[in-house]
Amino acid sequence: METTIIKPQRKRASVDKKFLIILLIILVVLAGSVSAVFIIDHNRHEYYDNLVADAEELVIQKKYDDAEKKCKEAIDLFPAKEQAYLIFAELYTGRGNKEDAKTILEKGYEETFSEKVNKQLELVRTDIQYDEYIKAGNDALKKNNYNDAIRYFRAAIDLKPAVDEPYLLAAESYIANGEKSSARDILRDGYDKTGSDRIRGKMIVVEGELQNAEHQKTTQYEAEREAQEAKRRADEEKRLKAEEEQRKKEEAKAKQDALKLSKKKEWKDSYVEVLKYFIAKSTDPNFEDPYIREIDDELSEEYDDEDSDSENTDDGDTDDEDSVTYDEDSDEEEESSADEESDDEDSEDSDEESSEGSDKKKDTEYAFELYDIDSDGIPELFISSSGKDDAEVACYTYANDTAVPLDNHNYKGKISVYQGEKLVMFTSIIDGFRHIDVFKKHGINLDTYITFFDNFSAKVTENYKKSSTINGNEAEQGEYNIELRKINAYSWKDIGRKYKLNDDNIEKGIDAWHM
């Protein structure tokens, strides 16, 4: 008996393994393709959404041509989506072209079968038909075809029963046709359905005319007259009450103005003294400002308490720039004239210095302005040596019977204020180095709110790199710019240069400030 030996089929197993590897590779490729398709499709949908959002914003801004381009692109991308058609129709309606709105919505409904599109289409069709009825009715009314006019206006009422216009036009047609009772009836029906004050007013007139003609001495007429008299009395009482309230407001305002005026008498002399010191400072090279001093903690705490009480009592006085008005053109002309005179004086001073060899200091062109940062009825005094970024500046407030310096840090640059948050900002840019220091007024102090520094415009060397800081801490340029934009978004007002500082302008500048 022969024995048959069966050997393993290794070759077949190797073939199966290769087949599995090839199959796995195909599956991986297919998975990648599906993922790529999904990503592409997602990006297309996202791009569509962006187009629709942009178009909607442009319609709000009434930039209809740009919005139309966005809508067309969105529809070409996804013709089966509803949003672009709806915005397109709104665009045409905004242009006053309802026919085109109807056409685009009809196309949209054919492509999308959307209930929203169909609903909007019905509304547009109703609007078009309504406009046609109103136009036809008005044409008939002008031609004295009153019956036709009534028929068209009633058809418009059937389309839009909640709109008062066709009721009024129909009533006008009935009256012209000698049917005042029909006019009254349709006005009553219109008032019940719309609640319109216009219909009510017309209805009262028509009813009054009918009552005067037909029911002069009836009980109904007497009741109506009594109701009207009661209403007249109620209106009269309401008027008298409003007048009394207005009188009380005016008295309160007069008292408040008187209080502010008395305050003005208190702080005016102190500010005049400060300004005269600065005039002396600008001409005397050895002058030392006696107002720059440290305020002890006891004085700060005492004023903080007073400031808190003042804020509680003056909550109603929050007017910003509306409470302070200047003759800007006059001020600008005076400043321009003063600047020209100053230039002449500076030129003469320069000639004297060169000819006499004198060490006399050139006058600093100080200017000043009053501005009430915290709306407490007492303005702060702002002084600036120039309108440039390296200007010498000073700020004062009035407290405890004296002018108190708000700024003891010798800041330089342009002064800006934001009354809404009681903020003062000093901006200085010198040789590409920018310092922006923002403070919040608290009592007699300026508390640090936020500070910025950068040297982006400065000359860069090997040992000196560009940098920026916020509150003294290093910040990347992107973060720095974001925070700086937030601050710049406030409604800042540049101040400190309204009146050139001289003896003639001191009284003028202070007296010009009013509450």
3-state secondary structure 178-192: CCHHHHHHHHHHHHH
Within 10 angstroms of residue 436's Cβ, the number of other Cβ atoms is 21
- For the stretch 62-72, pLDDT in tens is 888 888 888 98
- Do both 274 and 149 map to the same domain? no
For residue 212, the tally of other CB atoms under 10 A from its CB is 10
Q: Are the CB atoms for 58 and 70 separated by under 8 Å?
A: yes
Closest CA to 350 of 334, 362, 338: 362
Q: What is the DSSP string of 211-277?
A: HHHH-TTSHHHHHHHHHHHHHHHHHHHHHHHHHHHHHHHHHHHHHHHHHHHHHHHHHHHHHHHHHHH
Q: Taking a C-beta distance cutoff of 8 angstroms, is the pair 395, 424 a contact? A: yes
Quote the pLDDT of residue 298.
46
Residues 140 and 276 in one domain: no
- Give pLDDT, residue 488: 93
Total number of domains in the chain: 2
Rounded-to-integer distance, Cα 496 and Cα 370, Å: 8
- Structure confidence at residue 274 as a pLDDT band (50, 70, 90): confident
146-159 vs 165-176: helix axis angle to the nearest 10? Answer: 160
Residue type, 275: L
Distance separating alpha carbons of residues 433 and 454, to the nearest angstrom: 6
Domain contains 41? no
Closest CA to 435 of 484, 381, 493: 484
Q: What is the CATH number of the domain that holds 204?
A: 1.25.40.10
Considering the domain architecture, whether residues 204 and 292 belong to the same structural domain is answered as no
Identify whether 133 is part of a domain. Answer: yes
Q: Dig out the tokens for 210 from the structure.
A: 């009918």
Structural contact between residues 176 and 146, judged by C-beta atoms closer than 8 angstroms: yes
Q: Strand order of the sheet with strand 473-474?
A: 473-474, 468-470, 445-454, 433-442, 423-430, 414-418, 493-495
Extract the tokens encoding 37.
Answer: 């398709």
Task: Verify that 282 and 205 share a domain, yes or no.
Answer: no
At 212 the pLDDT is 82
201 and 273 share a domain?
no
Claim to verify: residue 200 and residue 284 sit in the same structural domain: no
Residues 398-414 have a mean pLDDT of: 80
* 441 assigned to some structural domain: yes
- Of 199, 214, 229, the residue at which a domain comes to its end is 214
Round to whole Å and give the CA distance between 86 and 344. 68
Instruction: Identify the domain boundary among 149, 180, 214.
Output: 214
Of 214, 235, 252, the residue that ends a domain is: 214
389 in the same domain as 326: yes
User: In terms of Cα–Cα distance, which of 368, 371, 373, 406 is closest to 387?
Assistant: 368
Neighbouring residues of 497: CB distance < 8 A, sequence distance ≥ 6: 335, 367, 369, 384, 387
pLDDT at 333 over 80: no
Instruction: Compute the distance between CA of residue 84 and CA of residue 171 in angstroms, rounded to an integer.
Output: 42
pLDDT value at residue 411 = 74
pLDDT category, 344, cuts 50, 70, 90? very low
Residue pair 425/418 in contact by the 8 Å Cβ criterion = yes
Asked, for residue 404, whether it belongs to a domain, the answer is yes
CA distance 43 to 5: 64
Query: Do 196 and 288 sit in the same domain of this protein?
Result: no
- 293: DSSP letter: -
**Does 281 share its domain with 383?**
yes
pLDDT score of 11: 53
pLDDT reported for residue 155: 95
Dihedral, CA atoms, 153, 156, 158, 159, nearest 10 degrees? 180
Mean model confidence pLDDT for the chain: 79
Residue pLDDT, tens place only, 78-135: 998 988 899 989 888 888 888 999 998 889 888 888 899 999 899 999 999 999 999 9
Q: Domain for residue 452, yes or no?
A: yes
Distance (Å, whole) CA 200 – CA 179: 18
* Residue 239 burial (10 A CB sphere; 0-12, 13-18, 19+): exposed
Question: Is residue 382 classed exposed, middle or buried when 0-12, 13-18 and 19+ CB atoms within 10 A define those classes?
Answer: buried
Looking at the structure, tell me whether residues 506 and 374 fall in a common domain. yes
- Residue 32: inside a domain, yes or no? no
User: How many of the other CB atoms lie within 10 Å of CB of 14?
Assistant: 10
If asked whether residues 394 and 278 sit together in one domain, one would say yes
Model pLDDT, residue 250: 87
Residue 237 covered by a domain = no
Taking alpha carbons only, the member of 386, 408, 458, 451 closest to residue 429 is 458
- Does residue 95 sit within a domain? no
Asked if residue 171 lies in contact with residue 187, where contact means CB atoms within 8 angstroms, the answer is yes
In this structure, are 295 and 366 located in the same domain?
yes
pTM of the entire predicted model: 0.40
- Whole-angstrom Cα distance, residue 390 to residue 434? 11
Please report the pLDDT score of residue 170 as a whole number.
95
Q: Supply the pLDDT for residue 317.
A: 40
Domain span including residue 330: 269-340+362-512
Q: Is the model more confident about 137 or about 39?
A: 137
Per the rule left: phi > 0, alpha: psi between -120 and 50, beta: everything else, 463 is alpha
CB 59 within 8 A of CB 87: yes
